[in-house]
Every structure is written in C-alpha cells, then in structure tokens.
A and B are shown apart, each in its own frame.
Chain A
Amino acid sequence: MKNLQKDYEMLSAYIDGELHEDEIKNTEEKLAIRTDLQKKLDELKKIKKLTKSSFKIPAESPYFETRVFANLNRSKNRYKKFKTILPAFSFAVLAVLLMVFLKLNPNILQDLFETQKINIADFYKQNLKPLLLTAGLTNEDIFNFALNKQLPLDKNNKQYIKLGYDQNGKEFFEIKPAGLANEENTFEDFVSALKLNSQQKRQMDSILGSYADEMEDQILINDKNTVAISPEIWNYNKAIFADIMSFAENACNEEFVKIMPAGYRMHEKPMIDKMVKEIKSRNSNKYIFFTPDSIFMDNFEFDKEKFDDEMKKMEKELQKDMKQVKKELKDLNIEIRINDHITNFKLDSLWDDDFSVNVDSNSCRVKLSKVIIPKIDMLDLDSIAAQIERSLKHIPSFTFKFPDDNRGMNEFQFRINSEDSAALKNLDIKIKLPNLDSIMLHQSPKIDSIMRFNMKYLDSIPNYGKFNFFLDPDSFKIPTQFFTFDSLNFNQEKFEKQMKEFEKEMNKLRERMDKFQDEYYKDQKEIKKKGKKAPIEI
C-alpha cells in the first residue's frame, strides 16, 4: 500500500517534470507493465489540466502601482519622522522603564547608596588606634579635660576637641586649633590650692591614670586621617570631674571649701561611685567619624583586647620597650583638615533634626542630641558662673568713701546695700590695714597682691574678674579698673628688676651726657684760640 502510494506520487511528479532521468526511466518501465498506474496517470493529467484551465488571475487594478508608490512615500516620510524623534522617543521609553523599575524596586537606589556608604565607612574604619596612646596625653590633659572640657587631639598639630553645651543645653563638641583653646594649666593650680601631700598627689595621679586607660577607646585615629569620637566622652567628662572633686573634698576638705563656691558640697561618695561605675560599664559602639571628606555616625567595635595583644606582640617581636613603640606611634602625622570639603557629607539616617555640623575656617562644631547622660546633678561650673553673674547684677556699682582726713587710720568700714534682699543681704565690710599710708606711698603694688588673695575665690570662674570700683576721695568719681586678672598677676620682683635696669640705663645716659659736655667745652676753647689769628680776606 505504501509502495503504491509512492508510485502514485512519482506519477504526479512525472507529469510535473520533476523527476531525474533514472526516476523517469524507472517510472516509465512500471507504466509499461501496470495498467493501474496508467489509469492513475490519466486521472492526474486530467486534474492538472482542469486546475490549470479553471484558474484565472484577476486583472490588476489600474491604480495599483500608483497606490504602491504613494504608500511607500508615505511610509518613507513616516520613517524619516520617526527617525528624527527616535532619540527623544528612546530616551522617553528608557525614562519610563527606569521609573517603572524604580517603582517596582524602590529600595535599589537606597541600597546602592547604603552599600557605597558602608564601603567608604569601612575604608575609614581600618586600623583605628586609640588616640591616648599616640597623642601621649598626660594626667594634666585628663584633668584639663574634666574641668575645661577640652582634650588635645595631637600635640604636634595642636588641635583640640572641645565639648560644650549650647543655649538649649544640647551637647556639642568642636575641633579647633590650639590658638583658640584655653591653655591654662589648671591642674598645677588645683594641686597647689588643695595643698596635696605627695601621697594624695599620687592618689590623684592614679585616678587620672585609670581614666586615661578607660578613655582609650573613646577617641580613635588612624593613618587615613580619621578621628572617631564616641559620644560617651561626655559621660567620661562628668565622671572624671565628679571623681576628682569627690576625692578633693574627702582628701582636703578645708582647702576644698576655700576654692569652691560657698555652700557647695559634692554628692555623697557612694552616689558618685555608682555613677562612675555606671559610666564605665556602658558599652556603646556608636562613634562619630571625622574623615577628610565626610562626617558620619556609625557603629564600630573597637577590640581593646585584640589591640592590647597586638601591642604586646609588637613589643615582644621588636624587642623594644613600650616607650619606643609609643614614640613611633606618636610620629604618625594625624591632622583633621577643616575646610570646605568637609561640608559635603550626607546626614546619616540615624541622626534626627537636632544633629548639626557647623564648619568654619577655624573649627568644626558637631551638635548632638542622642548622648545619654546619667541623670545625676553635677557641679556645673558654667551654671555657677551664671549664678554669680546674676548675683553681681544686683550690685552693678557701689561706692565707698574714704574719710576726708584718713591719715593715720588703719581701719576702714563700708557697707553694700542691696535692693534684692533675697539674693544678697546688706553687707558690712571692715578692712584692717596696718599702715595704709605707707602702703599707698611706697608699696602701692602690694595692694594688688592683697586683692589677689581675695580673688582666689573666683579663680575657677572664667572672665568674671571685672568689677567697677568708684573711688570718691574728693567728691570726684573716677571710674577705675581697679583690678583684673592681669593686674592680679603683678610681679613686684620683676618690677624692681626692671627699675634697676632702667636706673642703669639712666646712669649710662648720664655718663654719655657728661662726656658730650666735656667734648663741647674742649671744642669751644679751640675756637677761641683760633680767633686770635688775623681773619682771612677773600
């Protein structure tokens, strides 16, 4: 059956003239002997004839060509038009696709930025080392940090970090050059004012030393000019201050009372200890990173143990003592460059609106709001100063009058009357002087030294040394800057020395004048001698 079908197909191809020579030969041989094939061949030929004859192609429309070319021209113009708008169209399509893509993946850009931020942050977080080890801070620096809230970042470059509180009581810190920092060495004054003995001094050093160790990971730096500061540094500032004051009060209460404002007492020691313990046990990984091109806040875990191990290993391997290693680390040139570039940072989402960074040519101030400070009332020198200022407003000026004839008197009495009896009661003051006349005539500078004694109370209060005293001995008021901090530091020995030098200079001048006089007389005598000769005629 299959072969028969194939034979018929061959017949169909045969009448179409689509067979090869051997196929034709084979087919014709079969046709010669098989009648069924002959019959099928006739049928196929008839069908082919019918098909050919019955199918007439319809006539072409007279406008066919015209229409074809008109359509082509229209299409060409459309294509050209499309070509001109293709760039804009492509751009629009791309924009729409991008919008759709971003709509479907809203976090992709954020993720991208976050990844970049993390990469940059990781770069700046490398090799962070404790600042205290490299800057070689002394106990005096720690003490100054407690009192003045400033800490040198690098002694070579003389940059300081200063903590502070703004008008709203929000914490801020700023980095500024040493020229703008308070460079008073209050530690020495404090120790001498308390009259600490050597053992107490050692105890004080031990307290400060312990904080130096504790604060190691509060400020970190690396060779990429990154400074990482932990906001916990405020708490340490309070803790150190409280600890020092508590120690001072307990160690030398008598002297402590003298240097502190009247009536001020520190909290009970257990309370201070509790607060210090709480601060030391806090384990915050948050750091504010200052880098050459950005400021940001991020988590960073400083592995203190690992760092200590590394230091020990280094010490062992290099067979150098710790001082040498520290010296090498000290040579690292760390500098925070404060310039316009530092403003190109993006606020981290972790910050709220209260966070702000102010940069000028001299300093960089970062205001914070998320520093958690223990709720313990502390001695706040700033607030005490403000309190004293408020009190002083009630006595903007006061007068005291010397008796008309005060010679021989060695006791003076004057009264300060205050309108605000609640703030300051009327005060009678007696001043006894052994011999005021002699002091006024011969040793007037000593008055300054006497007053300096009184002003010790105000040593711890910055910039409140100006009082206006009005002397009215002859009903003639002379406004006088009676004493300021500068005048309090009058050095009598130095003055006497200067006067002696001045006297020497004057003696030298006198000798030169004498010499000059002698020469002058000598010249006059010679002129007189020459005058006896006859004048020369011209």
Chain B
Amino acid sequence: MKFTKKKTGLENLKILNLDDDFSLVKRFIEEDESAFETLVRRHKDKVRNIIFITLGNANTVDDIAQEVFLTVYKNLKSFRFESQFTTWLFRITVNKCKDHLRKVKIRSVISFFKEDEEEPGYHLSYENINTAEIVQKGIAKLPEKLRVPLLLKDIEGMSYQEIAEIVKCELGTVKSRIFRAREGLKNILEPYRQELMS
C-alpha cells in the first residue's frame, strides 16, 4: 500500500504559484532577502503613484517611497496574512503620506516659511495654462479625504472595497466621498468651463 502525504491548501498554492505576494512574504520571513527585492520591484510603481496622488508633489515621491519600503522591510516579519499584501502596503503608503503632510504643516507653523513646493499640485502657472494643469490644480484644492479616494479610483483604478481598506473606512463612505469629490471638482473648475470645453 502506498501512502501519500496529504497536502494543505497553502502548500498547493506554494507549488503552483511561488511568485505570488504571500509566497514572497513567506520566503522573506524564512530569511530569503531576494523575495523582498521582488516585492519592491513589483509594487514600487503603485506605491509611487499613490504618494503622488496623495501629496501631488513629484519631488517628494521617491523619498516617501523609500521610507515606505523601509517600514515594510522592518515590519514584514509581523505580517499576519489576514489581508492582501497590497492592501497592507498601500495602507502604509497612505499613512506615510499623512505623516509627511502633518510634518510639513508643523514645520511651516514653527519656521514661518511657506513651503510652496510642499503644497500638493500647486505648480500651475496661469500664464502657460492648459487643461491638465487646471484640473490638477482643481484636484489639489480638494480636501485630502475626498481627493485620495477619487484618485485611487480614477487614476489607480482600485475598487471601492480596496479603497475602503486602504483609507480605513466603510464602503458606503468611499462611494459618498468619491461623488462629493467629483461634485467639488466640478464647482472648482466652473470658472474654467470655457477652456475645458474647448
């Protein structure tokens, strides 16, 4: 009689798809440093996009992204496999962005310097005005809690469910915030209706 070892679902997953995020995380936990490099290469673009969407400042994107991956590296061994790796990663990214905005705000209050370059998406010049810039400026004027869900949906193409997990709120709230963001943006762009239509 031949005995066969009964395999668990996770082992089957490991055999079938060794490259998925969970497997890479597992390999990293088992001291395989190369798995983390794969994770970085796989998700760096999304992370950078979210940072840019949230902060609206291209200069700080790479720095914040570095911080994000450093934090992920330090905490990955405590990852509990209860949610998607990307959800966990993007939540860290959004939190890092919020931390950055908080720091900028505090720094500006303390130093009395107005750090223009830190303000999201405000690099528009009315002399060379174009449609994209007008819209970007309009988006930047939206409050953070409306802006981030809108951009995660329209730029990153995330589902409401994913957005809700990243920004830690209810699905209905995400739906409501995205609508309000669009309404707000419409009102902001109302003075430029002619330019936008042309």
Report which A residues bind B (CB closer than 8 A). 8-9, 11-13, 16, 18, 43-44, 47-48, 50-58, 60-61, 64-65, 67-69, 71-72, 75, 79
A44 to B154, CA, bound (A): 12
Contact check, A51 vs B41: say whether CB atoms are below 8 A apart. Answer: no
B65 engages A47 (CB within 8 Å): no
Instruction: Check B13 for interface membership: any CB of A closer than 8 A.
Output: no
Interface residues on B, range: 35 or more
A53 to B36, CA, bound (A): 33
Q: Which residues of B contact A68 (CB under 8 A)?
A: 40, 44, 65-66, 69
The 5 closest A-B pairs by CB, nearest first: A54-B135, A58-B58, A12-B179, A54-B132, A51-B154
Q: Do A72 and B62 form a contact, CB below 8 Å, given A47-B182, A51-B185, A52-B154?
A: no
* Selected A-B contacts with CB under 8 Å, 5 pairs: A48-B182, A51-B151, A55-B151, A61-B62, A65-B44
CB neighbours (8 Å) of B150 from chain A are 51
Partner of A75, one of B62, B70, B153: B70
**Residues in B whose Cβ lies below 8 Å from that of A69:** 37, 40
CB–CB A65/B40 < 8 A: yes
Cα A58 to Cα B65 with chains together (Å): 13
Complex Cα gap A58–B61 (Å): 9
Closest to B174 in A: A18
11 further A-B pairs in the complex, CB-CB below 8 A; given A51-B151, A56-B132: A11-B179, A12-B175, A48-B154, A51-B154, A54-B131, A55-B154, A57-B52, A58-B61, A64-B48, A72-B69, A72-B73
Identify the interface centre among A9, A12, A64: most chain B CB within 10 Å of its CB. A12
Bound-state CA distance A12–B69 (Å) is: 34
Q: Is the beta-carbon distance between B155 and A51 smaller than 8 angstroms?
A: yes
Chain A residue with Cβ nearest B53:
A55
Which A residues lie within 8 Å of B45 (CB)? 57, 60
Shortest A359–chain B CB gap in Å is 62
* Main SS at interface, chain B: helix
Tell me the residues in window 154-190 of chain B with beta carbons closer than 8 Å to chain A beta carbons: 154-155, 159-160, 175-176, 178-179, 182-183, 185-186, 189
CA distance A72 to B196 in the complex (A): 45
| Chain B, residue nearest A49 (CB) | B154
**B139: Cβ under 8 A from any A Cβ:** yes
Complex-state Cα separation, A12 to B66, whole angstroms: 35
B189: chain A residues within 8 A (beta carbon): 47, 50
The reply on B87 being an interface residue by CB < 8 A is no
Interface membership of B74, Cβ < 8 A: yes
B68-127 contacts to A (CB < 8 Å): 69-70, 73-74
B49 interface contact, C-beta 8 A: yes
B186/A43 in contact, CB under 8 A: yes
B160–A16 touching, CB < 8 Å: yes
Is the Cβ of B66 less than 8 Å from the Cβ of A71?
yes
Q: How far is the CA of A12 from the CA of B160 in the complex (A)?
A: 12
Chain A residues with Cβ below 8 Å from B69 are: 68, 71-72
Q: Is the CB of A18 within 8 A of B136?
A: no
- Least CB distance from B71 to A in Å reads 10
Give the distance in Å from the alpha carbon of A55 to the alpha carbon of B48 in the complex. Answer: 13
Q: Kindly identify which residue among B36, B48, B73, B136 contacts A54, using a CB–CB cutoff of 8 Å.
A: B136
- Complex Cα gap A43–B155 (Å): 18
If A57-B48, A65-B41 touch, whether A44 touches B182 (CB-CB below 8 Å) is yes
Which of chain A's residues have a CB closer than 8 A to the CB of B160? Answer: 13, 16, 18
Which residue on chain A has the smallest CB distance to residue B196? A50
Nearest-neighbour CB distance to chain B for A496, whole angstroms, equals 109
Report chain B residues within 8 Å CB of A11: 179
B176: A residues at CB distance < 8 A = 9
| Pair B155/A60 contact, Cβ less than 8 Å | no
CB pair A52–B40 under 8 Å, yes or no, is no
Q: Which of B49, B69, B74, B176 has the most CB of A within 10 A?
A: B69
Cα A52 to Cα B156 with chains together (Å)? 9
**Contact A18 to B182, CB < 8 A, known contacts A68-B69, A69-B37:** no
In Å, the complex CA distance between A65 and B160 comes to: 30
Nearest CB of B to A18, in Å: 5
- Across the interface, do A71 and B175 meet the contact criterion of CB distance under 8 Å? no
Nearest to A57 among chain B residues (CB) is B49
Residues from chain B with a CB closer than 8 A to the CB of A18 are 159-160, 175
List residues of chain B with CB within 8 A of the CB of A47.
182, 185-186, 189
Look across to chain A and name the residue whose beta carbon is closest to the beta carbon of B72.
A72
The answer for the CA separation of A54 and B65 in the assembled complex, in Å, is 23
Chain B residues, CB < 8 A from A71: 66, 69-70
Query: Contacts of A51 on B, CB cut-off 8 Å?
Result: 135, 139, 150-151, 154-155, 182, 185
- Closest residue on chain B to residue A69 by CB atoms: B37
A residues near B135, Cβ cutoff 8 Å: 50-51, 53-55
Would you call A64 and B44 a contact (CB within 8 A)? yes
Question: Known contacts being A56-B132, A60-B44, A60-B48, is A12 close to B178, with CB within 8 Å?
Answer: yes
Q: How far does the alpha carbon of A50 sit from the alpha carbon of B134 in the complex, in Å?
A: 10
Minimum distance in angstroms from B44 CB to a CB of chain A: 7
In chain B, positions 31-69 with a C-beta closer than 8 Å to chain A are 36-37, 40-41, 44-45, 48-49, 52-53, 58, 61-62, 65-66, 69
Q: Please, how many angstroms separate the alpha-carbon atoms of A398 and B131 in the complex?
A: 141
Is there an interface contact between B70 and A72, defined as CB atoms closer than 8 Å? yes
Closest Cβ–Cβ distance, residue A146 to chain B (whole Å)? 83
- A56 neighbours in B (Cβ, 8 Å): 132
Contact A16 B52 (CB under 8 A): no
Which residues in A have their C-beta under 8 angstroms from that of B154? Answer: 48, 51-52, 55
Contact A75 to B40, CB < 8 A, known contacts A50-B131, A52-B154, A68-B65: no
Cβ contact within 8 Å between B44 and A55: no
Given A51-B155, A52-B155, A55-B53: A12 in contact with B182 (beta carbons within 8 A): yes
